[in-house]
Amino acid sequence: MQNVYLDHAATTPMDPEVLEAMTPYFTEVFGNPSSIYSFAAKSRAAIEKARGQVAAALNALPEEIFFTSSGTEADNWALKGTFEKLSAKGGHIITTKIEHHAVLHTGEYLEKTGGAGVTYLPVDAEGRIRMEDLKGAVTDKTVLVSVMFANNEIGTIQPVGEIGRFCRERGVLFHTDAVQAAAQLDIDVKELFIDMMSLSAHKMYGPKGTGAFYLRKGLKLENFVHGGGQEKGKRASTENVAGIVGMGAAVEKMKARLSQEKPRLSTLRDRLINGVLKAIPHAKLNGAMGEERLPNNTNFSFIGIEGETLLLDLDAKGISASTGSACTSGSLEPSHVLMAIGLTHEQAHGSLRLSLGRSTTDEQINYVLDMLPPIVAKRREMSPVWEKFLEA
Amino acid sequence: MTYSEKVMEHFSNPRNVGEIKNPDGLGEAGNPQCGDIMKIYLKVRDDAGGSAVIEDVKFKTFGCASAIASSSMATEMIKGKTVDEAWELTNTAVAEALDGLPPIKMHCSVLAEEAIHRALSDYREKRGLAAVPIREHDHEHEAV
Ligand code: FES
């Protein structure tokens, strides 16, 4: 049986070269970076090298990069750190309805415990915010705008540069969760007027458990983890040296491959999209098309189908995918992103995300295009919702 | 969350999928929470002795693997049984026959019980028999 991994938006396999770069830091070069002896200086140097690698990829300065345990942690830091520092000026935060839960739930937490006011901007049918909505939402009390660079479910890329410029002019801080985007796109934090940004290593063939937070020079947030002097005392705790080294190596390699990988994936993506829309009646693409979509993301809705059944049927054929169906969510709520772009419950139920990556080949796309249509047909055959849809 | 082999087997090869033309009983149940729908069709043979037997049963289900496996198993369990025996089928019996369901997926088996009860009620109504009240289920996650 084929083994076709199409869930790169969830996580990616570690690049063997990245692993190789990390390995010595588990065993031989184990010194605590905070120690004084020369042996420990090697660990320190490794961290600083990684910081430089991440900074270079983003056109940032090394001192603007702070390592964290995850993208989620960086999101938490951006919201809580800004709010705590600036709540006296007004505790208003603007974000969107389609953020990752790391931002949404942090926003809700600050509303509940800190008295923050949070505005959740709506998005259009393709998942983009409207600049007028953002402009209309900013008040004198607004301290932070947090809009994700590109959405993890539907792949829609936001007008980040425009948002950044507007925020800079209004004197409001701008944070973007680039956990998905940073693995797929060239990002220049200066050009895009980004003040804060969250990154994660495991979405870009690096290790799980390592993330980074970009904080523009000169900006002051509340420290996030209190303890020793690591990460300039802003994010204390003994550094995850191997993980940090892995993140540096992963970012550098990702960046070097981008000019080839981006067009390659975009072509595969469009072939998959067009193939699915052609082969499956009443299939719907969720999210934007072309340049405004992540090169590795596809997301469909098949009316009359429930997503969990689709995933299990695909799994039986060796294909790993993901869905926004209520039946798989644990809370039995459909994906908030799909609801925000205006899908019905039933359309969200029948959603399927196939996210491509380095291992994805032409043959794999052919294989999916062979396997998927009969699976959808078989499950529709037994679906009263499909029956009703056909009658209508 | 993982499903038992039995669930996966019934999910992959569901029994009794389809419809019955002019059914003697038709029942539909939906889960307001996750939006799933199950339809049950019955063909009943009324014997002279008064014991009505479910000669054939078919289902159509929109829902997760647990819902489809429950439909498949439940229809197998009532096929060939009398309508009175079928009435006694509970969702827990269906879940047990499937070697258990994950707690958050128990409500999907409730759908099967309810759809069968509705189909049996429809049958009784068509035959002019007195209605039997349907056991109400709390649609919150009862087993969680
Ligand atoms: S049918 Fe929705 S969880 Fe089972």
State the pLDDT at residue B130: 81
Q: Are residues A134 and A191 in the same domain?
A: yes
Q: Find where tokens 């925000």 sit.
A: A340
Say which range, A233-247, B28-42, B67-81, has the weakest mean pLDDT.
B28-42
Number of C-alpha atoms within 13 angstroms, CB side, residue A292?
A: 12
The residue range of the domain holding B84 is: 5-126
Q: Which amino acid is at A42?
A: K
Helices (H) and strands (E) in chain A, counts: 13, 12
For the Cβ of B24 lying below 6 angstroms from any atom of ligand 1, the answer is no
Among residues A254, A269, A298, which one ends one of the domains? Answer: A254
Q: Are residues A213 and A272 in the same domain?
A: no
Secondary structure element (H or E) that encloses residue A287, with its range: none
Cβ of residue A392 closer than 8 Å to a chain B Cβ: no
Q: Are residues A270 and A242 in the same domain?
A: no
The residue range of the domain holding A292 is: 4-11+258-391
Q: Are residues A236 and A328 in the same domain?
A: no
Q: How far off is chain A from B23, nearest CA to CA, in Å?
A: 16
Please give the residue of chain A at the shortest CA–CA distance from B38: A384
Q: Are residues A165 and A240 in the same domain?
A: yes
Q: How far off is chain A from B49, nearest CA to CA, in Å?
A: 35
State the pLDDT at residue A33: 94
Domain assignment of residue B131, yes or no: no
Answer yes or no: is pLDDT of B48 > 70.
no
DSSP A95-136: EETTS-HHHHHHHHHHHHHH--EEEEE---TTSPPPHHHHHH
Q: Are residues A209 and A300 in the same domain?
A: no
State the pLDDT at residue A103: 97
Q: How far is the C-alpha of B75 from the C-alpha of B95, rounded, in Å?
A: 13
Domain assignment of residue B142, yes or no: no
Task: State the total domains in chain B.
Answer: 1
Among residues A191, A226, A254, which one ends one of the domains? Answer: A254
Q: Are residues A41 and A28 in the same domain?
A: yes
Q: Are residues A277 and A369 in the same domain?
A: yes
Answer yes or no: is pLDDT of B144 > 80.
no
Start-to-end CA span in chain B (Å)? 13
Average pLDDT over residues A209-231: 96
Q: Are residues A210 and A342 in the same domain?
A: no
Indicate the pTM of the whole model.
Answer: 0.94
Closest CA to B104 of A327, A349, A345, A333: A327
Q: Are residues A245 and A279 in the same domain?
A: no
Answer yes or no: is pLDDT of A13 > 90.
yes
**Region of A375 on the Ramachandran plot (φ > 0 left; ψ -120 to 50 alpha; else beta):** alpha
Contacts of B27 in chain A (CB under 8 A): none
On whether the CB atoms of residues B3 and B10 are closer than 8 A, the answer is no
- A263-320 residue pLDDT tens: 999 999 999 999 999 999 999 999 999 999 999 999 999 999 999 999 999 999 999 9
- A134-187 residue pLDDT tens: 999 999 999 999 999 999 999 999 999 999 999 999 999 999 999 999 999 999
State the pLDDT at residue B143: 41
- A103-118 residue pLDDT tens: 999 999 999 998 889 9
Domain assignment of residue B25, yes or no: yes
Q: How far is the C-alpha of B120 from the C-alpha of A69, rounded, in Å?
A: 57
For the Cβ of B34 lying below 6 angstroms from any atom of ligand 1, the answer is yes
- A40-94 residue pLDDT tens: 999 999 999 999 999 999 999 999 999 999 999 999 999 999 998 988 888 999 9
Domain assignment of residue B77, yes or no: yes
**Nearest CB to B35: which of A305, A330, A346?**
A346
Measured by CA distance, the residue closest to atom 3 of ligand 1 is A327
Domain assignment of residue B91, yes or no: yes
Answer yes or no: is pLDDT of A327 > 90.
no
Average pLDDT over chain A reads 96
Q: Are residues A114 and A249 in the same domain?
A: yes
